[in-house]
C-alpha cells in the first residue's frame, strides 16, 4: 500500500536504491498542526525502506533543522526541505534545502550531509554549500517576490559527462514577468563538495513562475526533465487547460537549448512532486504525493505509476 502515516502528513520525496532495498526520504509534519499549510515550517525529513516500492517500513528520521546560531546565521535553523541522495566513494551524500530563522525563512539555500549507512546523517556545515547569485538569479533584494527561491537540489551525472556532478535547483531568473520567472538553476562539481554555479538551463518567460522538484533521467532512451508546478505559478495561457501538477519535458541529453514551453502536463489531477524511479524489473515508475482531493489536503505518497517516455509526448502512463 502507499506510504500513509497516521500521525504525519507526507509530501515531497526522493528515492535511492541500495542493492535490493529502495529507500525513500520524505518531508513530514504532524497532523496535530491541524492546518496543513503550517506543515512547511514544522518539518523534518523522514525515512522508509521497501523491497517493492509498495510495502514500506518506516525507519528513524533522517534530518531535522539545526539549532539557531549564537554568533552567525545557520542556513537550516528553521527548515530542512526537499533534496536528493547519491553515492560516491562508498559514502552517501544528501543535498537538501534549508531556510533560516535569522531571516524569517526568506532565503532558501542548499546544504550537504553524509552517511555511511543511509541511517545516520552528519551535516557538513552550518553554512550552505550553494546559494543564489544575483549574476544569474533573482535574489531577495531585487525581487518582486517575498522569498528567494533556491531549493529542491537534484544531483546526478549526465550520460556523456562522467567526470562532473550536476545539480538542478528550483530558482527564479532575473527580469521575468510575474508568473513566468521560473528557471532551472544549474551547478557543477567534481567532488560533491565545491560547487560552481552556472547560468540557468532556460530563459525566463517560458510559462512557469516556478518549476519545483526537478529531476533529470533518461527514460527508455528518452532524456526527460521532470518537475511540478502549482496553479498559482502557471502562466495564464496554461491555466486555461491545465490545473497544474506534474510535468515532463523532453530535452537534449546534454541539457542544451532547454525550453520549458514544450513541457507536457501529466494527466493525473491532485498528484504532485513526483519522482521517477526504476523498480526491480527495470520498469520506470512515478511516485508522488496526493495533494488536495475534494478540497482537502491528503498528504500521503502514491503507489507506483508505471510510465514510459515518448519523444513527442514526454512521460506517458503504461
Backbone phi, psi, residue 32, to 5°:
-65, -10
pLDDT category, 236, cuts 50, 70, 90? confident
Under a CB-based contact definition with an 8 Å cutoff, are residues 25 and 313 in contact?
no
Is 56 inside a domain boundary?
yes
Residue that wins the pLDDT comparison between 5 and 179: 5
pLDDT category, 35, cuts 50, 70, 90? very high
Is 264 inside a domain boundary?
yes
Lowest mean pLDDT among 85-94, 147-156, 169-178: 169-178
Q: How far is residue 39's CA from residue 291's CA, in Å, rounded to a whole number?
A: 13
Is 1 inside a domain boundary?
no
Is 213 inside a domain boundary?
yes
Q: What's the N-to-C CA distance of the chain in angstroms?
A: 20
Q: How many domains does the chain have?
A: 1
Cell representation of residue 149: 527561491
Is 3 inside a domain boundary?
no
- Residue 13's nearest CA partner among 253, 303, 281 is 303
Is 2 inside a domain boundary?
no
Give the CATH number of the domain where residue 188 resides. Answer: 2.115.10.20
Is 111 inside a domain boundary?
yes
Under a CB-based contact definition with an 8 Å cutoff, are residues 277 and 53 in contact?
yes
pLDDT tens, residue by residue, 258-273: 999 999 999 999 999 9
pLDDT tens, residue by residue, 11-23: 999 999 999 999 9
Which residue segment(s) compose the domain that 77 sits in?
8-317
Amino acid at each position: 500500500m502507499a506510504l500513509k502515516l497516521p500521525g504525519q502528513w507526507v509530501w515531497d520525496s526522493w528515492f535511492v536504491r541500495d542493492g535490493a532495498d529502495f529507500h525513500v526520504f520524505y518531508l513530514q509534519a504532524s497532523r496535530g498542526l491541524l492546518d496543513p499549510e503550517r506543515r512547511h515550517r514544522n518539518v523534518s525529513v523522514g525515512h522508509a525502506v521497501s523491497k517493492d516500492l509498495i510495502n514500506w517500513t518506516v525507519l528513524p528520521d533522517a534530518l531535522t533543522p539545526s539549532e539557531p546560531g549564537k554568533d552567525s546565521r545557520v542556513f537550516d535553523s528553521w527548515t530542512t526541505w526537499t533534496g536528493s541522495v547519491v553515492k560516491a566513494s562508498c559514502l552517501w551524500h544528501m543535498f537538501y534545502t534549508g531556510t533560516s530563522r535569522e531571516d524569517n525563512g526568506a532565503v532558501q539555500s542548499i546544504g550537504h550531509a553524509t552517511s555511511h549507512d543511509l541511517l545516520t546523517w552528519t551535516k557538513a556545515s552550518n553554512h550552505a554549500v550553494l546559494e543564489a547569485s544575483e549574476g544569474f538569479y533573482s535574489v531577495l533584494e531585487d525581487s518582486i517576490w517575498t522569498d528567494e527561491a533556491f531549493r529542491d537540489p537534484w544531483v546526478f551525472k549526465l550520460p556523456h559527462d562522467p567526470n562532473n556532478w550536476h545539480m538542478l535547483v528550483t530558482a527564479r531568473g532575473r527580469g521575468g514577468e510575474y508568473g513566468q520567472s521560473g528557471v532551472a538553476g544549474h551547478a557543477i562539481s567534481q567532488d560533491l563538495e565545491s560547487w560552481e554555479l552556472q547560468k540557468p538551463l532556460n530563459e525566463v518567460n517560458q510559462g512557469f513562475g516556478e518549476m519545483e522538484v526537478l529531476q533529470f533521467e533518461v527514460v527508455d532512451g528518452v532524456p526527460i526533465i521532470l518537475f511540478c508546478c502549482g496553479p498559482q505559478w502557471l502562466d495564464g495561457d496554461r491555466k486555461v487547460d491545465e490545473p497544474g501538477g506534474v510535468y515532463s519535458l523532453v530535452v537534449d541529453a546534454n541539457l542544451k537549448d532547454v525550453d520549458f514551453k514544450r513541457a507536457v502536463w501529466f494527466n493525473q489531477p491532485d498528484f504532485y512532486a513526483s519522482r521517477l524511479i526504476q523498480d526491480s524489473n527495470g520498469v520506470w515508475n512515478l511516485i508522488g504525493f496526493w495533494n488536495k482531493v475534494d478540497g482537502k489536503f491528503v498528504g500521503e505518497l502514491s503507489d507506483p505509476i508505471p510510465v514510459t517516455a515518448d519523444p513527442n509526448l514526454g512521460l506517458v502512463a503504461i
